[in-house]
Amino acid sequence: MLASVLPALVASAFSLGVRACGDDHSHAHDTDASLIRRAFPSVPLPAPTRPLVWGDVNIIHTTDSHGWLLGHQKTSWPEPNYSGDFGDFASFVTHMKELALEKDVDLLLVDSGDLHDGTGLSDGFPPGGVDGHESNKFIAQLPYDLLAIGNHELYVYANTLDMHQNFAPKFPGRYLSSNVNITLNGTDGQPVSVPVGSRYAKFKTRKGRKVTSLGVLFDFTGNSANTTVQKVEDMVKESWFAEAIQEEPDFFLLAGHMPVSLKDHWPTVFNAVRAVHPTTPILILGGHTHIRDCQQYDNRSIALESGRYMETVGWLSADLDEKHHKKNISFTRRYLDPNRVTYEYHTGRRNNTFDTAHGQEITKGLNQLFDNFDLSFLYGTAPQDYTLNRNPYPSNGSLLSLFAEQATPVALAINNSRASVPKYIISNSGALRFDLYKGAFTKNDQLTSSPFVDAYSYIPNVTLSVAQDLFNELNKQGETRRALEAYDAALYERGEVGMRYKAWLEEMDARHGIALRDASNLTLGYVTKDNCPGVGDDIAHAPLPFFSTPAFIASLPPNVSASTPIDLVYVNFFQPQLLQVLNSVQSVRQYAATDTTVYTPLLTNEVLGLFAQAAWNS
């Protein structure tokens, strides 16, 4: 069924102007300070066409939020679909809790990890701060019944310690890290390894149902020193695990930062529980791969994964039988677009009755944090959208083309004594994380689109032909490695999810692409095909166009002959691979790390901002 548009539910956009602030740069300001960056939809949004199905037990699920607490504020599609901020979400939860009381059913709120690394609210802290420390305070204000740790809580020890000391205590016994420990100094001065949160939880719902919960992380190997991640297959053999699941609850609620796909590790946990309790209902909330997905491992279980970046709020309901008979359990799931139209439809509220005082306070606090971190610092105004996968590379609409062919050469030439020497610059496409949209390009946008802090090195006197051969061979290796399952597994264990997310988008486009996009009354968004019955998406969309991209991107070659010596400039993140390939495509000399030199003090995460200041202020 095609989604309908209900303009009456849509608030008008608040136009942003730019004015001086009494310092040496400009900021974007709302005309009404009390509504600054308020997440009202900026364009008419399609509304849901069918109510949610409620059961005995219902769950609202978030995962992989990565700091996207002020919603997606750009006007280009599909961003308006996800324009609700965390204050709106808090109001939604409050109203849904009220509906649960009216229906006399249980409603639980669950998160599956990765609160860090994504936007300026989490990453834009001043020197001396800790990633996510301030933004997580707003997450802690919601009545989560269960939360699980993610891999992005583990890359930096200070972040893990902050979660252990400051975040987990906000949810006593309910922030779970079943197979994740942190090493601390014990009272005797000796190191001691303890769970970051709790191993498991046992509690009763409002309706008195007994619940046993775990919070499991996939077999992650990219964690920082003084943290440990136990393999899932080893965790289920632990004595504490056997003790935790020995008593039969009314249902198991398993949250964890693992995909729900059958090829991942949830079946390991599921099978260990099933060996003891063959018919007890099992509800699983997964995450990590940033996709919408649903699986049923048997007829008395369901496993749900609810996307990324607050682009999806998951809904799950179950009608449980009283004595765990062997009949099938009736489950439903829904993937909600997080915006005020969605929230108002499912709560039966309107603009003048939807906002709660608590929700408004959260929005106000997030906006204040936005200002505290100076995230509205304006670099320039982007003339159009630039995307990672919706436009082919190379092309005018490709963010990879913009970064490699325009932004990097301009930025790296600033205050550089070698700027006049012909150069060829190679970057990894993974240096870019999110699309760059038309309009104001701010500090927050820079942190969102290009967050990674990598340096530039160079090797002088490499001929242009060798540099181009090197680039081509790097991409050949990239394609070969992408095809190897073992390489995919190795990247996955270190936390890489881009390949799986992109494969999902590619399949979506191949399945429905041109035909659905030709239906002009459908907006761009996710079109989900999972393994659970019925239609999962709350609103019908046309899928995003998808074009595959190379592992490496390069600047346009300088206007010199193929035999001319140039500066080979590159992101040193992949230096070992670059040197290996460089030595394979030429035999004049063997290059080593000692032959490389820092090209500029500039880092990759500064490139787009400097380019915008130079090119987007005319």
Tokens 């004049």 belong to residue: 588
Boundary-marking domain end, from 372, 394, 413: 372
**DSSP state letters, 386-419:** BBSSSS-SSSTTBHHHIIIIIIHHHHHTTT-TTT
**Which pLDDT value is given to residue 3?**
34
**Which pLDDT value is given to residue 285?**
98
CA angle 105, 109, 157 (to 5 degrees): 160
Indicate if 458 and 352 belong to the same structural domain.
Answer: no
Enter the tokens of residue 565: 């010596």
Boundary-marking domain end, from 337, 356, 372: 372
Indicate if 330 and 463 belong to the same structural domain.
Answer: no
**Beta strands 301-306 and 313-319: pairing type?**
unpaired
Kindly report the pTM of this predicted structure.
0.91
CATH of residue 255: 3.60.21.10
Four-residue CA torsion sign, 143, 136, 305, 80: positive
Domains: count for the chain: 2
Distance CA 347, CA 420 (A): 62
Indicate if 322 and 435 belong to the same structural domain.
Answer: no
239 in any annotated domain: yes
Indicate if 97 and 168 belong to the same structural domain.
Answer: yes
Which of 258, 332, 262, 367 is CA-nearest to residue 34? 367
Indicate if 318 and 410 belong to the same structural domain.
Answer: no
Rg over CA atoms, the chain: 25
Residue 318 near residue 331, CB atoms below 8 Å: yes
**Which pLDDT value is given to residue 486?**
61
CATH of residue 506: 3.90.780.10
Indicate if 356 and 440 belong to the same structural domain.
Answer: no
Instruction: Write the burial class of residue 473 (CB in 10 Å: 0-12 exposed, 13-18 middle, 19+ buried).
Output: middle
Chunked into runs of 10 residues, the chain (618 residues) has average pLDDT values of 33 29 34 47 86 98 98 95 97 98 98 97 95 98 98 97 98 98 90 97 98 98 97 98 97 98 94 97 97 97 98 97 75 97 96 95 98 97 98 97 98 95 96 96 97 95 98 88 64 84 94 74 93 95 94 97 97 95 96 97 97 94
Indicate if 557 and 416 belong to the same structural domain.
Answer: yes
Label residue 253 left, alpha or beta by phi (over 0 means left) and psi (-120 to 50 means alpha).
beta
Indicate if 356 and 384 belong to the same structural domain.
Answer: no
Indicate if 502 and 550 belong to the same structural domain.
Answer: yes
Residue 317 near residue 297, CB atoms below 8 Å: no
Q: Which domain holds residue 588?
A: 380-615
DSSP-based three-state secondary structure for 252: strand
Helix ranges (H only) for 286-441 are 340-347, 351-354, 357-372, 399-401, 408-412
255 in any annotated domain: yes
47 in any annotated domain: no
Which of 287, 451, 379, 377 is CA-nearest to residue 614? 379
Indicate if 366 and 396 belong to the same structural domain.
Answer: no
Which of 217, 206, 138, 129 is CA-nearest to residue 170? 138
Residue 54 near residue 47, CB atoms below 8 Å: no
